[in-house]
């Protein structure tokens, strides 16, 4: 039997969960579109040279990704597709190893960069505004990487 406070708590958790899921969906859609556009732009640069004007809009890729999301959301018992989880785990490990490999190769090629306690020093090639923007962008990346927090809300709803 639920009390009024329990019902109110469940409603709040449901609203919070929907808000988080909408934010995650927007984040993944824009990030995917930007990544797909970057791949297409990279292919253009490799084909026509780095001086070519290779402007690639993100909007068509957002529509493509949204259509794929809508189609996949129609699959019944989607959460029971074990091979999909295996593929996702393999891709996560692959991305991690690629990132580690690229980091190690950059350190081997250029050496360890000079930093200070507050990050990279501000110089003639790096203004205070650019440093602030990069710091805020990094904080946004951290927030985006913790998109699994909806699981905690789901646990709270179930308690």
Instruction: Tell me, yes or no, whether 59 and 101 share the same domain.
Output: no
Residue 18 forms part of a structural domain: yes
Total number of domains constituting the chain: 2
Beta bridge partners of 126: 123
**Model pLDDT, residue 100:** 93
Residue 53 forms part of a structural domain: yes
| pLDDT, tens only, 83-136 | 877 888 899 899 899 999 998 998 888 877 776 666 666 666 777 788 788 888
- The pLDDT-based confidence of 142 (bands split at 50, 70, 90) is confident
Residue 100 forms part of a structural domain: yes
Instruction: Tell me, yes or no, whether 98 and 36 share the same domain.
Output: no
Cut 0.75: pTM above it = no
**Model pLDDT, residue 40:** 92
Instruction: Tell me, yes or no, whether 33 and 93 share the same domain.
Output: no
3-state secondary structure the chain: CCCHHHHHHHHHHHHHHHHHHHHHHHHHHHHHHHHHHHHHHHHHHHHHCCCCCCCCCCHHHHHHHHHHHHHHCCCCCHHHCHHHHHHHHHHHHHHHHHHHHHHHHHHHHHCCCCCECCECCCECCECHHHHHHHHHHHHHHHHHHCHHHHHHHHHHHHC
Instruction: Tell me, yes or no, whether 52 and 107 share the same domain.
Output: no
Instruction: Tell me, yes or no, whether 58 and 99 share the same domain.
Output: no
pLDDT at 5 over 60: no
Residue range(s) defining the domain that contains residue 91: 81-111
Q: What is the mean pLDDT of residues 144-148?
A: 67
Q: What is the mean pLDDT of residues 43-62?
A: 88
Instruction: Tell me, yes or no, whether 89 and 69 share the same domain.
Output: no
Residue 104 forms part of a structural domain: yes
Instruction: Tell me, yes or no, whether 85 and 70 share the same domain.
Output: no
**Model pLDDT, residue 49:** 85
Residue 154 forms part of a structural domain: no
Separation of alpha carbons 20 and 9, rounded Å: 16
Residue 34 forms part of a structural domain: yes
**Model pLDDT, residue 1:** 45
Higher-confidence position of 13 and 25: 25
How many C-beta atoms surround the C-beta of residue 147 within 10 A?
A: 15
Instruction: Tell me, yes or no, whether 87 and 69 share the same domain.
Output: no
């Amino acid at each position: 039997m639920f009390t009024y406070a329990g019902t109110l708590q469940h409603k709040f958790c449901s609203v919070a969960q929907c808000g988080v899921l909408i934010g995650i969906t927007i984040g993944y859609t824009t990030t995917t579109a930007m990544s797909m556009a970057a791949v297409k732009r990279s292919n253009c640069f490799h084909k026509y040279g780095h001086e070519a004007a290779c402007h690639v809009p993100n909007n068509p890729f957002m529509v493509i990704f949204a259509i794929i999301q809508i189609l996949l959301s129609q699959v019944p018992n989607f959460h029971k597709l074990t091979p999909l989880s295996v593929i996702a785990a393999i891709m996560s490990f692959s991305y991690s190893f690629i990132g580690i490999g690229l980091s190690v190769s950059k350190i081997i090629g250029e050496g360890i960069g000079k930093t200070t306690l507050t990050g990279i020093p501000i110089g003639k090639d790096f203004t205070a505004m650019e440093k602030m923007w990069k710091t805020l962008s990094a904080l946004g990346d951290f927030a985006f990487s913790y998109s699994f927090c909806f699981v905690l809300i789901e646990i709270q709803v179930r308690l």
